[in-house]
Structure 1
Amino acid sequence: MKAFRFDDGLRSAITGHLGRFPLRRNPNPAGLKRAAVAVVVVEADQAGQAAFLLTKRTPRLRAHGGQWALPGGRVDPGETIEQTALRELHEELGVLASTDDILGTLDDYPTRSGYMIAPVVVWAPGVTVIPNPGEVAAAYRIECAELFREGSPEIVAIEESDRPIIRLPLSVSTVNAPTAAVLFQFREVALAGRDTRVDHYEQPVFAWR
């Protein structure tokens, strides 16, 4: 797997890739509620390698309890998607970032649970993660290189849909869409510089709520 050094060169490359990407944003998501997630690029512990932050939701949450997720949530009235991503990042993981730390955004991804998710890519050097126990059971730094594992992503047909589901095998677990779809596009666009779409990928049936 290719390693990604957490340095100014990587930050510049990600910013350039996102800046050249022909973004798709849905301004009128037909009954779907707006949400935003933060794909947070950090340094892996003592390794000098770039990583991203991934959370395991607390089982106590009514919806999505126990699932793997990126920091994020519903867009409040008057907020931009960037403001939402930064607010949720601070509320869930205690990470305080600013608009200057935003490198760009990825495509909207519609979910079966009624949301239109907008991913925001955030650069966060020297970060200390303090999970909010009311929302997050645990937080992990996953090296970006793991997104390029052999056999990843896994694309699987299901009887319930004419679209295949997407999932990513990571060191902590196999992660499903929508998180898997967002992270796969982050891999393809931000890290590899490829114009790859993911909104045609399905979520597993257990996430249809």
Structure 2
Amino acid sequence: MTPDEIAARLDAFEVRRIDLPGARRAAVAVTVTSVDERCGIWVLKRPDDMRSHPGQYALPGGSIDPGEDEIDAALRELEEEVGVHVGRDAVLGRLDDYATRSGFVMSPIVCWAGPDRQVAPNPAEVAHLYFATLDEIAVAPRFITIPESPRPVIQLPMLGALIHAPTAAIIHQFAEVIAGRPTRVADLEQPVFAWR
């Protein structure tokens, strides 16, 4: 799938925003790249000694700083965490906002990093950077129940692990949207360990 084809699928998708009073705003970069002509995205694993969300799988992202919009924040975080700079012209589209249990509303921004990019992950924020092909992210999700919530917890079995929401929800929606299926994920739950 080409960046233009991905952009067209995203353009046809009606994005839903979440306005949650009191929530902090954050943005993540769903970064499309290619390695040896195989298209995919970067997924990172946080260091075990991080203060927030240690050892969890994530997309490059973080809080939106004063004076930034979602795009600015996502692209800044991509550069800070992965060492890859792209401009606003690299943005292919966006996905639905996702409200986290830790008090954030995340806005996923999809961007194109170009082929075979050199990366320089920041070891303070990235224990391991994975390249997951579009086929790998199109994996069938698993849904489990927990006593703490009536909502289903999503798990994506990929990268030799189980990836949970919010990352799993965003990756799942991206895979579905570029496959032509406008799937919603706002009602998918995070595991209790990610609520902090």
Per the TM superposition, whether the score is higher than 0.5 is yes
Summarize the alignment of residues 1-209 of structure 1 with structure 2, pairs less than 5 Å apart.
Answer: 4=1, 10-26=2-18, 28-44=19-35, 46=36, 48-126=37-115, 127-149=117-139, 152-189=140-177, 191-209=178-196
Runs of 4+ in 1 over 4 A off after TM superposition: none
Cα distance between partner residues in 2 of 1:71 and 1:173 = 18
Identity %: 48
Are 2:145 and 2:151, in contact at CA under 8 Å, matched by a contact in 1?
yes
Summarize deviations over 1:77-99 as a string: whole Å, max 9, x none: 11010000000000001000111
- The one-letter amino acid of 1:13's match is E
TM-score (norm 1): 0.90
Q: Where in structure 1 are there 5+ consecutive unaligned residues?
A: 5-9
Structure 2: which 5+ runs fail to align?
A: none
Q: Deviations over 1:44-81 (max 9, x none)?
A: 3x3x1101001011122111011100000000011010
Alignment root-mean-square deviation, CA: 1.0
Give the aligned residue type for 2:175: R
- Cα displacement string for residues 162-193 of structure 1 (whole angstroms, at most 9, x for unaligned residues): 0000010113321000000000000111x212
1:133 partner amino acid: P
- 1:204 deviation in Å? 0.3
Higher strand share: 2
CA contact (8 A) 2:30 2:108 kept: yes
TM-score, length basis structure 2: 0.96
* Aligned-pair CA distance for 1:13: 1.3
Contact 2:26 2:107 in 1 (8 A): yes
